[in-house]
Amino acid sequence: MADIKAFIFDLDGVIVFTDKFHYLAWKQMADSMGIYFDEEINHRLRGVSRMASLEIILERYEGEPLSEEKKEELAAYKNSIYVELLRSMTPEDCSQEVRDTLDELRRRGYKLAIGSSSKNAPIILEQLEMGDYFDAVSDGNNITKSKPDPEVFVKAAEFLGLPPEECLVVEDAEAGIDAGNGGGMQTAAIGDAVNCGKGTYNLTTFADLLDICK
C-alpha cells in the first residue's frame, strides 16, 4: 500500500454525532405526513443522501402518489428543522479525543480533509469552530452523486492535491467504506462500519488512527 499522506473524514458519526438531530427532524416531517418512523428506520438513513433517505421513509407512505415537487418540499422541510437544531451545537459537541487526535496528525505532517455528503457540513464546522482543522472540505455542495459513489472522496483528494492511493478515508457507514474503496483509497472503519468487514483498518476508538501512522 502507498504511504498515507492525508486523512479524509466523514463528518456525521466520525467527527461529531448529529444522529439525534436527523432523527428529530425526520420524525417531525414523517409525523406531518402521517408516516410511521422510528429509530430502526432512522438507522437505515446513515450515510445516505437526503432524497434517498426520504424515499426510505416514504416506503411506509400510504397516501396519494407524491410529485417530485412535493418530495423536494418535504426534504426541504426536514432540512429546515435540522438546520435549526444544528444551531444549538457548540464546540463541546466534538470530543477532546477527536480534537487531540487531529492535532497530533497535523503535527506529524498529515493533511486533513472532510468528505461528507451533507450540504450542511459548513454549518456544522462553523458551530464546532473547526473550520481551521481541515485543509479541504468536500461536501454535498460540490458533488452530484452521494455515497457509495466515491465522488465526494475523489474530489477531497483533488482539493488536497494528492492521488487517491495516498489518502485514507475514515468512515462509520458501510456506504462510506464502499465509496472510499471505490475511489482507490485506503479506508478505516469505525463504529457500525467495522461490522461490514470491508475496511483496510478497523478502529475501536478515534485515537487508534495514531497507531496506523506511527
Q: What angle do CA 154, 206, 13 make, to 5 degrees?
A: 65
Low-confidence ranges of the chain (pLDDT < 70): 1-2, 214
- What pLDDT was estimated at residue 169? 98
- What pLDDT was estimated at residue 35? 97
Active site residue 12: yes
Asked if 5 contacts 167 with a C-beta cutoff of 8 angstroms, the reply is yes
- What pLDDT was estimated at residue 203? 97
* Side chain identity at residue 23, one-letter code: Y
- What pLDDT was estimated at residue 96? 97
- What pLDDT was estimated at residue 103? 96
Active site residue 10: yes
Among the listed residues 12, 149, 172, 178, the single catalytic one is 12
- What pLDDT was estimated at residue 1? 57
- What pLDDT was estimated at residue 31? 97
Q: Nearest-CA neighbor of 148 among 196, 107, 90, 76?
A: 196
- What pLDDT was estimated at residue 39? 92
* Radius of gyration for the alpha carbons in the chain, expressed in angstroms and rounded: 17
